[in-house]
Structures are given as C-alpha cells and as structure tokens.
Amino acid sequence: MLRGTAQNPDVFFQAREAANPFFDAAAAKVQEAMDRFGALVGRHYHLFDYVGDPEAERVIILIGSAIGATEETVRSLRADGEGWVCSRCASTGPSTRRLPRALPKTVKGIAVLDRTKEPGALGEPLYQDGVTVLAEAAIGLHPSLARPPAGDRRALRPVVKEFTPAMAKAVFD
C-alpha cells in the first residue's frame, strides 16, 4: 500500500512522456514475436494483415472476435471489390503507423469495428488511431508513413466511419 504521494502536473507529465519510447518500441517487439512464431509453426502474422481484392474500394478494419466471420465473408465477396484489415495488436497507438501499408491504394471507404468502449471519447481507439494515421500519411506529416505518389494525396484519405449499433442493425435490416 502506498499513501501520501503527490505529484505536481509538470512532474506527472514528464513521467508520462518518459514512457513514450517504450510504447513506440512495442509494435516492433510484437512483430518480432510474431515473426518468431511464424518461423516455428509456419503461420505468419503481422500487426495489420489485409485479406481481399487487391483493388478493393471498401475495407473493414477490425480487431477481435469478428475476424473469422469477416474473413469468410470477404473471401466469398472478393470478386465484388471487398477487403478487410485485421489488427492483431489490441493496443494500437504507434503500431497504427503501419496501417497505410496494409491498405490497397484504391480504398475509398473504411468501416472500423472496434470492440472497446471509451466513455466520453470521440471514437474508439482503433478508429481514432486509424483516422489520425491516414490523415498524417496523406499530408506527409510523419516521415515513416507510406505516402501515395506526388499529386495523389486522395489515395490515403478515404472516408472512415466508426461501426455503430445503428450499422449493426442495418445488417439485420
């Protein structure tokens, strides 16, 4: 038990910032572990894996329990220009910078299915991180992001929608 601790806001913020290099390195460490797993068992995974039409215009980005059903659906619809990206890292953050490389250049619309609920947030973590990284890629803000050819900034600026209960109802309708 710890009692009586206090930090001024500046000290607290410095401690939070000091943790950033560890979060930034996490994506590479997770990918290294997946690469070792692949070498051992022959099944290879990445932080973001794309399945579907290489020229898909509509893509679903998801994580968690919906992956299997979505993969079956997309494989059966592949001729219709559908695709999906599976996020294998539950805490997205810096790993999301790898997302643009997983998307076909032809994508125009994205639906993000996130199984998390963040009360008071503008959107769930996978959705917010995805929107941010696609916007950064489109304007060339982050040097490590894959960028479209000069003059083709639209390629990484698709419309991104968060998957809502109303959208789930539309599936049944």
According to the model, what pLDDT value does residue 140 have? 67
Residue 170 pLDDT exceeds 50? yes
Kindly report, residue by residue over 64-118, the tens digit of the pLDDT.
777 777 777 777 766 566 777 777 776 556 667 778 888 888 888 888 877 677 7
Section 42-66 average pLDDT = 84
3-state secondary structure of 160: strand
Give the number of other Cβ atoms within 10 Å of residue 167's Cβ: 12
Mean pLDDT of 1-17: 78
Model confidence at 151, in pLDDT bands (50, 70, 90)?
A: low
pLDDT, averaged across the chain: 76
Specify whether the CB–CB gap between 94 and 74 falls below 8 A. Answer: no
Greater confidence (35 vs 122) lies with 35
Residue 147 pLDDT greater than 50, yes or no? no
What is the number of helices (H) and of strands (E) in the chain? 6, 5
Token pair in block for residue 14:
């410095």
Q: Residue 172 has what pLDDT?
A: 52
Confidence of residue 36 (pLDDT cuts 50, 70, 90): very high
> Percent of the chain scored above 70 by pLDDT?
72
What predicted TM-score, i.e. pTM, was given to this entire model? 0.69
Residue 84 half-sphere exposure toward CB, CA atoms < 13 A: 22
Contact call for residues 88 and 139 (beta carbons, < 8 A): no
Query: How high is the pLDDT of residue 168?
Result: 60
The pLDDT of residue 152: 53
What is the full DSSP assignment across 71-120?
A: HHHHHHHGGGTEEEEEE--SS-GGGGGGHHHHS-TT--EEEEE-----TT
